[in-house]
Amino acid sequence: MSDAVPRVAGAEPDPREESLALGNLCLELESYRVSIDEERLDFTHHEFELLRLFCQQPDRIIPYDALCQQLFGTSGRSAVRHLSVLVHHLRVKLTGMEPYVIETVRGRGYGLLEAFPRRRQNHPRAGP
């Protein structure tokens, strides 16, 4: 018998639910909910799973083939194209995510990396 508590629409999330938090991003793994600064976002199943993979391995580039195998169960040209479309959709939906961004390393893969802080005005190479 399951001890799961039924969820009422609009109710607060169950604090026992497993979640991943990275910067201002929060993924609730049981309910497939994503929020940035507590604002809920809508994701498809594949988008959520890709974001989950990135969040489980932050600051690491994951090869294209490994991502395709985990998401689609296959690899190859069409799977990599589908993956690139998913990454594009994630980037659009995650514009307010800080301090992480989805980076591409051409010929290698994708990763959720901490964005470099902008140069300070007093940096020697920053200009006058």
Q: Say how many C-beta atoms besides its own lie within 10 A of residue 63's C-beta.
A: 15
Q: What is the pLDDT confidence band of residue 13, given thresholds at 50, 70 and 90? A: very low
69, part of any domain: yes
35, part of any domain: no
Distance CA 42, CA 57 (A): 22
Q: What does pLDDT average to over the chain? A: 84
Of the two residues 123 and 26, the one the predictor is more confident about is 26
52, part of any domain: yes
Of the two residues 85 and 128, the one the predictor is more confident about is 85
Name the residue range of residue 56's domain: 45-114
- 2 has pLDDT over 70: no
What's the confidence (pLDDT) of residue 17? 64
78, part of any domain: yes
* CATH number assigned to the domain comprising residue 90: 1.10.10.10
Reduce the DSSP state of residue 70 to 3 states and report it: helix
The pLDDT tens digits of the residues spanning 89-107 come to 999 999 999 999 999 999 9
Distance CA 42, CA 85 (A): 16
100, part of any domain: yes
108, part of any domain: yes
Q: Work out how many domains the chain is built from and give that number.
A: 1
